[in-house]
Structure 1
Amino acid sequence: MNLGITLLGCLLFIFAPSIVSQTISLGSTLTPTGNLWVSPGNAFALGFYNLGQGIYSVGVFYHKQISTVVWTAGRNLTVTKDAILELGQDGNLVLYNSSSKAVTVWESKTSGQNVVGADMNDTGNFVLVNSSSQFVWQSFQYPTDTLVPGQQLMTGTNLSTVQADSSISTYTLTLETNGNLSLYWKNDLSYWGSDTSSAYSNLSVSGNSPKLGLSLDSNGRLQLVANSSVLANWLSSDYGPNPLRRLTLDADGNLRIYSWAAESGSWIVMWQAVENQCDVYGWCGSYGLCTYNIGAPICNCPAGFKPLDSQQPTKGCKFIDADIATCGGGSQVVSLNHTVLFAYESDNFLVSDNDEGCKSGCLKDPTCVAAIVPNDGAGKCRQKRSHFISGYQFPFLQATSYLKVCNLPTGPATPGVSECSPAPKSSKGSRIGIVIGTTCTFAVTILLEVCVWGFCCRRRITFRGPLSNYAVLDFASGAPIKFTYRELQSATKNFSNKLGEGGFGAVYKGTLLNKTTVAVKKLEGIQQGEKEFRMEVAIIGSTHHINLVHLVGFCSEGSHRLLVYDYMANLSLDRYLFSDSELTKPLLNWKTRFNIALGTARAIAYLHEECRDCIIHCDIKPENILLDEHLSAKVSDFGLAKLLKEGHGRTQTTVRGTRGYLAPEWLTDLPITTKSDVFSFGMVLLEIISGRRNYDPSMDSDKSKFPTWAFHQFEAGQIMSIVDERLHGELESNQLERAVQVSFWCIQDQASHRPSMSKVVQMLEGNILLGEPPMPKSFDEIHSRHVQQQPPTASGLSSFSVECF
């Protein structure tokens, strides 16, 4: 299921073509099969929409272009085809369950407030106005699950998920009085927040609380503002003018910015609050475990549990035999390896020497329903007392969790007796039943083997065990799939369709048995054995970010080491910046370039600071920035540098870097840190702006060392001379100047002078004021050493010390 589409955005809309005038007079009505109240520019409409099976709701939605609801009357209220919406003579807007008006389902409560009419505005705001043209009531003040540009979420209001089968909202976005913006599960547990309370408290003067507001503009900027001060700023990855945008709290509990893509005629996710969907509390329901399936989250049940609804796995699971809260035959604890169970902050921490201590402690405590051992070296065991269990399972997580379940029944009542054997009536009968059951089982097994053998022979299929079913079984596990070399050889037609070649090896296009298109990278120079290689693959596979290429699987067979990634339809960034082929058409405009730069920065910041293991990329360059079908940036080859290390030490590694992108510390035997990636990103950012390589010996001598020449142009105020002339003036000047300044801050020769990648993101977004970057003291010398010390090929091979991976 595409999480980029909201629940109500997928619904079938059935409307009559009739349209009323801009001003709705008192006494006007709407019915499910009647007209609509449409805004003057036909942008929005208010009316009934069909939920299916004769059920309707009333809401504001995009009228012509998009059938997407942005506001509903009463959030989750539904009515039948006999319902009626009326703007009464008393100025009250009322939804009745039938034309008889016997039961009021919802009302605006504006009777007696001098309402003279209503308007459906082109902003998406439905308003009731008085004789002075003032708004007596407006839908913007009562948001449901969506904000549109021009609408504000104020303190005391919230966004809540719209549920088709419940009047109780599960997830809520709340603007709190302490200045935080928080996502809550059932108004109880916060699983995401803006962490802006301290900044907000600093603005308070003499006990006066600044006025808070959250708004989305048409450029895709989401701002949390207190009076005139910006507390937090989030940008969509396609930052720039686009009036068709929305911020929606989706039914899966994630907050997302959507942009309308006219080319594809669909909404595209351009930002989301929770990068890893499995971190959304309770998304898989009670006892549900969230895993990943080819980059997308799915819900599974633990062993011994079954889904409450097999058609809707997010509803949760139940114990197959009995509920722990009601079982009377005692309890036991089952282990869930590689699993984290989320817990309330109030749940206890118990110090335990080992897993057994944690398990036994929970078993002895009658209030304990589950326990988690993070295995993070702290020696702590977290107990859960809530009967709502929400978890994240990934094959390479170190954590172990324990669930308390009812004791399984024993003796004659044990389920699972073969249907071939009669129910035991005596010990002799039991022995006869066992013999018959065993015979039946053996016979069935032989029959199945014969059938499988016959099928394989007829189809000429080689039976190789579970790996033959990777398209179903391994994909469902969410872990990187282990392929055989023959499988990848077949998928790539003997590696015949070469997409490109980089410092770590060649990449080929392939198609798996389930018709998934992938990119297969044949790694070169791998020094690690099977165990070490799989550990590094586990780290790569456990990273999930909207701007990182997803690792589908791997192959480690003999001397073969291959990685399988999602295929990116628009290939790599270098083909658009530097190539003169047809791939450069249409040209990447400034808006797209800036979004690519911002997405790349966010991905690197995630690798450095947000994922479990610090990952230094070591080879940031346009060839490793791939573009999906929407031209969004997807960073590839992250984590591969460590695969090329010699020995098992933490500080020594052999890395292939690329000429022109290596930070000075690579050449001076200084420690390699995350700031080395910052330098490489600065070079890439300069290339995105200019559309040319940072070193090109074919250019005039002044321009051959482009960063040096560009800095002098920047100092002289000639910033436009740096910009790719193919952009034809399609630029946003403030954004451009900011990007140029950021690039020069990133390529400072002293690592300590460079900002962190998280600061780079804030600088690009405009959340941090930039000073003038200084000219690196040894810039010319360092750049010359880059050129002189690198071989003529695209990659160099040297040994350096690394601070962390």
Structure 2
Amino acid sequence: MARLPSSRATLTVPLAAIFLLLTGNGYSATTDTILPGESMSGNQTLISKNGEFELGFFNPGVGIHYFVGVRLRKLTSYSPTFWIGDRVYVVDLPHASLELFGDSLFIKENGASLWWSSPSSSSSSSVAAVAILLDTGDLVVRDTRNASRVMWRSFDYPGDALLPGGRIGLDVATGKNVSLTFEGFSHNGSLRADPSRTNGFVLATDRRDVLGVFPNWMVTSQDNGRSMSLNRDPNNSVEFLQLKVGQVSLMRWSESDAGWVSRWTFPSGCKSGAFFCGDFGACTIDGECRCVDGFTPSDAKEWRLGYFVTGCSRSVKLSCETNGDDSFAVVDRLQGLPYNGFDETVDSDEDCRAACLNKCYCVAYSYESGCKLWYYNLYNVSFADKPPYRKIYVRLGSKIRSKRGLDTRWIVLLVVGSVAVASAILALVLLFRYRRDLFGSSQFTAEGSMVVYSYAQIKKATGNFSDKLGEGGFGSVFRGTLPGSTTGVAVKSLKGLAYAEKQFRTEVQTVGMIRHTNLVRLLGFCVNGNKKLLVYEYMPNGSLDAHIFSEKSSLLSWEVRYQIAIGIAKGLAYLHEECEHCIIHCDIKPENILLDEEFSPKIADFGMAKLLGRQFNAALTTIRGTRGYLAPEWIYGQPITKKADVYSFGIVLFEIISGRRSTVAMKFGDHRYFPSYAASQVNEGDVLCLLDGRLEGNANVEELDITCRVACWCIQDRENDRPSMGQVVHMLEGVVDTDVPPIPASFQNLVEGDDSDIHIYSEESWRLRTQD
């Protein structure tokens, strides 16, 4: 099933999104029921008998997607929408439908594509049922022969909002425990009943649980306190219960204010919970809410009425998408750090600041005991009236757009670039000084940033090579612990005299002189006769292939996969465009992508890498790499450019998306090669079918669509048609628009019965082609 995409930047779409109901919106009303075999089309609505509610496919105001939901029909201004069907979306509204078959509801698009179905309570498709939108706003599937028997109801599956008559807690009849949930990119929350206390509830966030109690006038206890239903206002005011991250409120429609106001809120003030002040809001020492510097109230009217959960909005748009001259404002004297910061492994405050600037969705950073970054939103900011104080740096958009500002920026870039070039030259000089000894004899001295280990040290560190992490054609990798290493090291022992010598030289020459957060770090090396060993930082989560192809490993969420894809792209962009010499990796594949404790990717195994001087655009070299990931120019013996890595990255992207090997010939409709099938689906606009089935459609569809498009651009036949890795990073981060790519010409013939253009060789032919 498809789910509501998680938020990107500030485009959050909550389950109870508020959007303007325009009159004359083109919807046509039907009755309050859907009979067996009937359907409600995308441009129709189902109206409750009392005329208060309507069910339909609605757009929340962000993107092109339409969701099935119930909204208040009589309001002519703003209305909440209560989403149904696990927030399932459709794109082709005129051809979408909600159908009843047996006792299950189905959401379809174009009459065939099944997007969602409600659980069935009967194994027979001949059961007599009817779908009815009740006067409470509850959509139910009811037995026509026994009106008291409800087979399914939307009130049992609330999102972040609850209408009067809905309840949370244990439903004794069905055994279902109902709770409210709030889902965002970097923040989640839930509201569940606490049967140990009268009218008690637990308000949970990722960080902690807070206990609260509903007032007696607000809820009615049921089933001996195991559940509570939300009472209807005796004055017939329109109300609903709304969950935000760290806060729950009873919202009431105010005719005099022409808007929603909070009748009851928990926490009741920001001193007991700074979530009370909303996104980018801060609680002062006087217990009042205000926006942090650079932000203003998102809804000034609600703030005047004392309802702050709508939070604050940025006064000046971030400029990272254009000229990248964003600044930071310090917010100090804080009681603690805001909610849900992400740890970033860097060595200094400057590196932490740079790490935030490098991510357009990073909104703040702090560097105290370590580096923490905040993505998209900032919650739970509270000022302290006494030490100890904490501080953060909030990212602001630059207001400077003058020519002088541009000139100053270029001067800064020139200075930084000069320092970088000087540092690179110094590193090469140091490398050259010990390379003569490195490749000429077995006696070494440690110079530069790498350490030269003795064989005895390596043997002791690895417990006589007892803990093997893996083995491949290059040799074996062992885990070890060296003095001064807190996380351990990985020792790669190369096998094969000629091959080991060549790979050893290449890895030291490339990895030894570069540093990047998405490149594995070479700590040192050891040479003992014919034994060649490389010592790397240890990656606790192993290689990417073990997580996307193996069902034994924990399933990577879409959010993690998307960040892994961006990280790999950034690492390759650094190799291609930022190093003094362009470094072509030549063997990008999931096995060569390692994951640290936070699942941040690091490119490894540079033994096949090719250094290309900046004065050259291409190099003619022997074929190298792994079957299935090679660009066409490798196969046809043409000169190689950095676009060969781009092609391999595109294949890896498809594998990250689908969780399947792109290089394995399987049947996908008329296609026998997954990238061929994927390219055709991207052109047809159907990308959800490419997503790993184990994710059950739980992905940000906008991000998925962009990632699929990028992958198709990367695997174009002509290297000039492929983007650079720098452009790939910008596309994945949404900085630039990504058009729908053409289907590569070589894929046009990859239909059933004709896979002659798939670049996969037999073992013997591969051995002959790769001989030096």
TM-score by length of 2: 0.46
